[in-house]
Structure 1
Amino acid sequence: MNEIKCPHCQTLFSINDTEYHQLLEQVRTKEFEHDLLERLSSERKLLEEQSKNELQLQLGQKDEVITTLQHQLDSFEQQEALKVQTLQSERDKDVQELQQQLDKLASEHALSLAQTLASKDSENQKLSAELQQITLQKDKEKQEALALLQQEKDQLRNQLLLQEQKQELDKQALVSQFQTELAQKDELLAYYKDFKAKQSTKMIGESLEQHCEYEFNRLRMTAFPKAQFGKDNDATSGSKGDYIYREYDENGIEIISIMFEMKNEADETSTKKKNEHFFKELDKDRQEKRCEYAVLVSLLEMDNELYNNGIVDVSYAYPKMYVVRPQFFIPIITLLRNAALNSLQYKQELALVKEQHIDITHFEEDLNTFKNAFAKNYQSASKNFKKAIDEIDKAIKRMEAVKAALTTSENQLRLANNKLDDVSVKKLTRKNPTMRSQFEALDS
């Protein structure tokens, strides 16, 4: 918006850019007319000077020209004066119209401004009322929220008190339960101590063996239906283990074999032995009985945390040997058995390779047997043939003997030839599926 000050009433008017440019164009037209008049005046003076110079130079020859030019100049001045008057009247008219437009715009602007101010006052009043209402609503909500928070706080405090009381009751119940269980364990410990005191060293060891055997038989039908588990009664080598576990697949291939040794000791025994004292003998029993693993089920060194934490691998001392407590008797069998089942496929493939090697060996044996029989027949025939030649050379009297010898030689040669004709790949590989498959592969 642009402001214009009226030269008459000194009033400021605000007009937009379009009206401002229109007004500016009118003012520029007036200035242009003023410039044009000044230019014409200057040109007239210049013409007069030129005319005077020409008159001075041409003297009397230019009088007529001067008169003509004077007339033309007068006519031009009249025309210019007329144009100026016309432009002045048009300018006055435009100024009046512009003044009317400005007055109209001023009145419209004042009316619009008054309406806008009234609207703004109304909106301000409305907004003030809404703000006051919102403030009241917020205060009410704040009070309600504070009341709700206070109520929740009271509820949480009550719940916390109840929870603390419950925890205290649970704690007392757990303490009472633990005390009861501890008393029961003490009684059980005292019972076992008394039980051990009443047993000899041999009876203690036998009770551990019976425990392990009972645990295995309890799960035999469900977990180990094809397994063999029993006492090692073979003492031909001078020593024996306690139990041997073996398991085979449907083809008779051994899946796993374990040599078990159970060791226990009475608390009152004067010489306390360690688990490592039995490793060497157990490894020897494992190798003599051709078992893959050796496991020592031990109750020795009860205060040793190494053996109390679970399954202990002692393969650093002896290969494939483990030490376990009685509670890990079944888990060690399961772990070793599962590991063996994973390698069963390779064992089966190895057995198949061995069978194929045996088939090749049988084929070579059959071929050698045939060669020996053929050589024997050939040697017999050759011997008889030579004998017949010798008999012919000796005397005609022995022709019958020679004939008989030749006949025998012919029969032997015929039999050898028949055997040679009967020889074929099919007959040679009849009892040898491995070589038959290889020859069939060559034919294909």
Structure 2
Amino acid sequence: MNKHDITCPHCHKSFSLDNAGYADIVRQVRDREFARQVQEKLEAAAQEEQLAAERAKFAHEQEMHQALHARDAEIQALKNQIERHEADRQAAACLAEAERKAQLQEAMQAKETEIHQLQARLAAGTAEKELAVTKAVEAVQKERDTLQNTLKEAELKNTLAASRLKEHYELQLKDRDEHIERLKDMKARLSTKMVGETLEQHCEVEFNRARAMAFPRAYFEKDNDARSGSKGDYIFRDADEGGTEIISIMFEMKNEADGTATKKKNEDFLKELDRDRTEKKCEYAVLVSLLEPESELYNTGIVDVSHRYPKMYVIRPQFFLQIISLLRNASTNALSYKRELELTRQQNIDVTNFEEKLETFKTGFARNYDLAQRQFGKAIEEIDKSISHLQKIKENLLSSGNNLRLANDKAQDVTIKRLTRGNATMKRAFKALDTP
């Protein structure tokens, strides 16, 4: 048998071990080293994954900042263009007005000169000449008035044209500002913090804010019943003071991140939503969606898709409370008609229907009694099997207790003297440890 000399790192005493003892010590050291290496690799992988997530988030934020910066630059360029057009228009208007005034002034001066000449000739001439001069003066004054009116009309046309141009560019600037606001709003809604259940939490918070005032008796909870194979996100139910249900709505919330490779459409979820509405016995179905952010159809407001699936709507999150209020009010108005119809139907029940219900009750009761009796017999058989099984477990536990007692007795009889009997190597090792 091979021997291995071992030196204790604490007391620096040497002793020898056989192959089995040495192998056991080597295995313990190797296991500890392997566990340490595995832990280090797991920590390194976790750090690398966290760094990758932070880099992806930073890249996404940079892209959105660049897009906003480009939009701001475009708006500034448009503003500069408007200012240049306004300056050119004002300069052209001033130049045209100055030219018209100069021409009018020259014409008026010429006419005034002609009037003075005629007046001078009138003073020296005859009555006939005076009459001619008077007519000429009136003609000149009339022509002067005509020129003044023409100048005023030209100034009015110039003012109207400038006003139209200004309104046109202001309308363009307003459209740009609205587009930027939509982009900012879409950025906030499509950020990584609004993916997955964040949209659901947003709708739940909005509803809870208005619950006490608008929906005191309403039920709005997550749909956790997946027995049919699928489930929606939330179910809304509201009832009147007597407990009669007014309305029920199946809600589905869908969002999508910018980095998603395959972009989904609202059409992709309508069929499944209609199936969930039918299985959960809801009257209406509403898809609250942030998909297709550039669609003019879905961005305008509440979209009725009842031509595809009955009583179904697609909305943006900002119309969440509005759609509930609209549908609830419509159902509340129809509730009175439903009650009158039900009362009329109940009043028309005759004895024949009563006897049929009684016969149906008897048949159902007999069937349920037969099923209950059979299940009772099966339950008794299962109890007998369980008693037999527990008896076997009891016997096994008693046998295990005896074996543990015998093992404990053997462990109590184990001593160093018995273990080292016939083993000179272990005797020398223990003796060396006891020697100071």
Provide TM-score, normalisation by structure 1.
0.40
**Structure whose CA Rg is larger:** 1
Provide TM-score, normalisation by structure 2.
0.41
Q: Which has the higher contact order (CA 8 A, sep 6+)?
A: 2
